[in-house]
Amino acid sequence: MTQTADAAMGRTLGRIRAAACREFALRVLRGIGQVTFLPRALTGLLFASALFAAGWEYGLYGIGGAAVGTVVAALLGVDKERLAVGMEGFNSCLVGVSCAVFLNPDRLSSVLVALLGCTAATVATAAVGRALAAWELPALTLPFCLVASVVTLAAPGFARVWTGGGGIAAFPRAVSGARTGIGFDDAVRGFFAGFGQIFLMPQWYAGALVLAGLLVAGPRVAGVACLGNVAGMVTAWALGEPAAQLADGTSAYNAVLVALALCGVFLKATPRTAAYAVAGAVAATVCAPAFGALAKPVGGHMFTWPFALTTLVFLVAARSFPRLTASA
């Protein structure tokens, strides 16, 4: 009887552990999906696939970052609902990816910096969330921007951390006299790359997987994202942005995030908010070079600063426009 009871207890504990591991994996994947406001495990899985398609190290750092952020938040007693929907994983996911992109992902020092950065992102998420809560505004990716900016500013001061080079997503700066025309093939490649650049990945096939993750959430979500992408690309082209930046997606990824935020996430999706989202996408695209110039000392890495700040400005402004918020 004792052996039977012990065996039954063992099976029960095994099922509990399996369920806990499964729930943790779902939380991590939802955290990756939350980069585009989508707490869906399948979306997160496709986003993770996009990172692995670009390189195994980016996938590992991205998943690892989301996992670290989730664990640290749980240990600090963050609300279980936030943990369940992945709200504590997306900023740390992006911090992890940025460490793989801008540092040497094969070095132990980069792993340690990523661990510290993802932990700091959890603290920054709480701090920024608390500060903006007074105005009922979301933290968005501000914690990621803050931590990633500090890392890229500080890294050159540490010989065992900095390798002296940028990664695959080192944002090119506008060059006087650079070619501004763009062919059809480059335009298509740039369209898909715009989705990949949300995760700092310039490969068109990585962007295609990110778009697939958005499609999982429904045609409306994917349509809004595509609308923002096109608005960003057209604006950048019309203003004469170099062809290289149009082709590698750096001209549109902030516009994609702004459009998603303003049409369907923080404002109800309507024709009016769709037009407002396009205006926000255009504004973020116009402002992006300014952030690149400000970040010039660290290679022009603007991260998602244009998205975060533009979205906050447009959300505050929307409160003065009843036709945008009346049905929200």
DSSP code of residue 34: G
* Inter-residue contact 204 to 193 (CB < 8 Å): yes
**179: left (phi > 0), else alpha (psi -120 to 50), else beta?**
beta
pLDDT at position 7:
66
pTM of the entire predicted model: 0.91
DSSP code, position 141: T
Tell me what pLDDT residue 5 has.
65
Is the CB of residue 19 less than 8 Å from the CB of residue 31? Answer: no
Reading the block at residue 262, the tokens are 């303003």
Residues 152/298, Cβ–Cβ less than 8 Å:
yes
Residue 23 confidence (pLDDT): 94
- Asked whether the beta carbons of 314 and 259 are under 8 A apart, the reply is no
DSSP classification of residue 288:
H
What integer pLDDT is reported at residue 31 of this predicted model?
97
- Do the beta carbons of residue 66 and residue 90 sit within 8 Å? yes
pLDDT per position in the chain (328 positions), as tens? 566 766 666 666 767 788 889 999 999 999 999 999 999 999 999 999 999 999 999 999 999 999 999 999 999 999 999 999 999 999 999 999 999 999 999 999 999 999 999 999 999 999 999 999 999 999 999 999 999 999 988 888 887 777 765 444 444 444 444 555 678 888 999 999 999 999 999 999 999 999 999 999 999 999 999 999 999 999 999 999 888 888 999 989 999 999 999 999 999 999 999 999 999 999 999 999 888 888 776 566 889 999 999 999 999 999 999 999 875 4
> Which of 328, 315, 319 has the alpha carbon at shortest distance from 137?
315
Q: Residues 6 or more apart from 279 whose CB is under 8 A from it?
A: 314
In sequence order, the 6+-apart residues with CB closer than 8 A to the CB of 87 are 31, 34, 39
pLDDT number for residue 299? 61
Token digits of residue 137: 């505004």
Residue 75 C-beta-side C-alpha neighbours within 13 Å: 9
Q: According to the model, what pLDDT value does residue 20 have?
A: 84
Q: What are phi and psi of 240, to 5 degrees?
A: 85, 30
Closest CA to 85 of 110, 105, 108, 66: 66
